[in-house]
Amino acid sequence: MAVPATGVPEVLEQCRAKGIKNVVVISAGFKEAGREGAVLESKLIRISAMIKSVKAYRILKGVRKEPMSDIDSLLDVLLRVSQLSMDFPEIREADLNPIKVFEHGKGCYAIDFKMITGERK
């Protein structure tokens, strides 16, 4: 999703309330924009700490002698989908579920991908 920096904390709170455990934020207007942006960035960091507290993150880091998953590859896929939605504003929703993440360095892929297009409200 693409929202102004000032809206990011609220959107993250809404995601958390709905049970959404992972979010990728690409925005501007944080500490590079001055004191107000720095305060906003601090709030965002506190909210985003929830990502590291979910079970999925622990599993991705490797548990029970399982190797660490390719978290960088997962982030790359999510960033590319985010960029796609910014490049094509007619994309209203994109759902990648599930995403198969292999061990570190071996990539990942979406098993199912659904996209809804149309005029944004």
Give me the average pLDDT of each 10-residue run along the chain (121 residues).
72 76 70 75 66 73 86 75 78 86 92 87 64
For residue 84, the model assigns a pLDDT of 80
For residue 36, the model assigns a pLDDT of 77
CB neighbours of 69 closer than 8 A, spacing ≥ 6?
59, 60, 61, 62, 101, 102, 103, 104, 108
91 forms bridges with which residues in the sheet? 117
For residue 27, the model assigns a pLDDT of 67
> How many Å apart are CA 51 and CA 58, to the nearest integer?
10
For residue 32, the model assigns a pLDDT of 72
Helix pair 35-48, 8-17: axis angle to 10 deg: 10
For residue 110, the model assigns a pLDDT of 92
Give kind and range of the element (H or E) at residue 93: strand 91-96
For residue 37, the model assigns a pLDDT of 75
Could you report how far apart the first and last alpha carbons of the chain are, in Å?
A: 14
> How many Å apart are CA 119 and CA 99, to the nearest integer?
27
CB neighbours of 52 closer than 8 A, spacing ≥ 6?
none
For residue 49, the model assigns a pLDDT of 65
CB neighbours of 97 closer than 8 A, spacing ≥ 6?
110, 111, 112
